[in-house]
Structure 1
Amino acid sequence: MTLLFGRRARLRWLHLIIGGALLMPYFLAALVIVGWFHPGTDLFSSLSHQFTAFAYALPMAAVTALFAPARQLSVAAARALCGIPGDRPLADGPARTRQARARTAGWYTLHLALGGIISGSTLMMPPLAVTIMVLPFSEAMRDSPTFGLPETMDRPWILALVPFAGLAILVAMAGCAALAGALLAGRAPALLGPTPEDRLAAAERRAADLAVRNRLARELHDSVGHALSAVTLQAGAARRVLDSDPEFVREALTAIEETTRRTVGELDSVLGLLRSGEEHGASAATGPALDALDGLLERCGVPVSCAVQGDPGTVPAAVSREAYRIVQEGLSNALRHGGHGAPVELRIAVHGEELEIAMDNPLPERPPVVRPGRGLRGIAERAVLLGGRTEAGPHDEDGVWRLSARLPLRTPGQENR
């Protein structure tokens, strides 16, 4: 009985009745058309004319379903009432392509056709079934020329079975509604499901969201991660000489204060981008660039020798910001793996249409295993987005760990922000 009268069956029945209600304007318009060809005929008493109007109404409904918003309305109703399994998703948004509109028109026509039939049965069958079930208990109704039974059926054992006939009519009506609802639910993923164009658009949206998340992750890792590495090493060095060199401790605390203050500002801008949900927001436009490189080298916590060739001021703003982050992450790696006090050689060259960055720091006694972590992966992503490339790894012949990056100054389709 759950299949016939359960919650899902009742909702699907309601969905079919809504389809019947939606069919009525088309049906009445079709009756008018039929009346033009059969003047003087009582259309509401002619069953053949009503079936003809029903057949005319369905193509009219299909035409109106070709408009783009029809799919959104149909999908909303199907999700709420049809009980479609979650592993068979329906499409979101209006129908944009010819294929999507044709599928929607097919669904809408099927919905209204089945809905019209089930709605008509729902209106007619319950009164008929109740009348049949009451016949054995009303002699006046049995003798009535309208409701009366033939004399051959006016027998006690037949009258005892008549109520079950009325009950069977109700059960059959519920079964037809359940079958029609199940048919609609089964066809919904095929007719209202995403088309290849919808799947491509959804994939592009997911890729755009993932790109924004990766951008935020890189900004947080490079700015906050570098600051934490520098602060940790400076605090550790200050603790070791706390009693013997108070002046160094004072300088270390000052550097920690400046580093944390600057990092809090960068963190605020990145979180502002996260809250606004913009792909290219304020943090991308106001982040540090190569003109702030001197301050970075002064507070990084390791001695750095920097050689610059060319004019970094000619580097486009977008490239300059990414270059700053690459240098920042390279210094963080030098702090983690080379230790405090290990000298770093930084070379920046602007020549032709390319910016070249090379950073060397001595290898520790136990060279690190080359595993592309978040930092190196972030550096590679920054370079790839600009059309460049990076390399990182030990150079045993020179005894150094080398990070190098080549970034084109002009990237096709890139805006000079």
Structure 2
Amino acid sequence: MNGYLWQGFNYGGRYTDSMDRYCDMMATCLASPNGLSDYRIACNDRMLDRYDVDGMYIDDNLAYVCTLQAEHAHPEAAYDCLIELHEMNWKRRQSLRARRPHAVLIDHCARATVQPVICDFDAHLYGEGYTFPSLEAYWAQYGAFKGMDAQGCLWPGGKDLDRSATEVAYNYDLLGGGGQYMYIDWRLYPEKFAYAAGVAKDEVPILRAYNWAQYGFGMYESTPHYFAESADLFATDAPGRRATIYRNETWGDHLVVLANMNAEAEDVALTFRSPGRLGLQPGGTYAVLDVNAGECRRESGDELLRRGLAGGRVPGRGLKLFHLRRLPDDGPRHLWGGKRIAERRDASAGVLTLELQGPPGSEQTVIVAAGAEPNVEVRVDGAPAPFRLDPSRRTIHGAVRFGPAPVRVEVSTAGRDPLPEAPIPPGGPPRR
């Protein structure tokens, strides 16, 4: 211990878990002004030197009440803990920077979410999967993280009833900025692992629906207009119904998240109050895609801004996604499916060329707004592709499998025959 002093207090806590029969720990408060932190960092250094570590998760980066308040004459009982958390986290970060500069450092934080305690982490786990009293309570506690140079994240709970269900976790995620959701892989195998109780049967479709939607829309290049800060921009029609709108700054598209935080299914609608500040324009024509149901309609900009968005029935504690794209002309345009990297339309040749990217190995339905010419041919990476026409929704669509490189999709009006007809397949939850 390098001659340093440290002391501990066992306050009677004990933690066991049926998930791991080796988990049997005593909860001890360690007061370590110097010695113990050096010992722990030395252990970390040996681990980093021996193993190819790409990240570390620090549980309970929390400011607990310390028993040394009276001894140290501190005005608050948590001061010792705050000081030691700051010192320990800084030392850990320096160790990683020296040995694994690419490694991700993530903590579970719920108390003392102040910069000296959490500034050394790349990501913060909100609440360890526990549910929150309300959406407003979640925002009040964790909404400030959106202004920090670190990624916030949350996950669904496991066997405990007081943890968030998957769909509710996505409500918090997509209403609060997106990209925050982390998944615990054992939840995908509830029949294999007994402790995966409470996992919904549609767990995998839920993950695909909402993870792929964020990937494809391009959340990283979008400006969010949060439910809690946008009363002057838009409004939902009743308590418990919330919305957040994202505007993709590269393409000008919008993703509208309509969530129902109430227990029972309800109709949810949204009205626009300051559409210009959202980047929505009067005039022209918008393609309005219900991402979940696979339904698409076209509305004039004037009508859309006047009537707002009727989201229809939204399940209790669930959400629906709507994609809005203003169509610049009567030619085909990409709407959904894969991440749009590039889009070029050669009007004289009658060809729309897309570069789309998706998670390698995934297969997604690519949806294109149909142009005025009914006879088209679709090629994917140069090969004819079996796309279909949905005449009632004025779209063409087909399944595309993605690999490590972007996929090239060409829609040509040089087709000799009409495409076979079929409706757009649903895009995943909600259906309850």
TM-score (normalizing by structure 2): 0.23
Question: Which structure is higher in strand share?
Answer: 2
Which structure has the higher relative contact order (CA within 8 Å, separation 6+)? 1
Q: State the structure with more CA Rg.
A: 1
Question: Which structure is higher in helix share?
Answer: 1
TM-score (normalizing by structure 1): 0.23
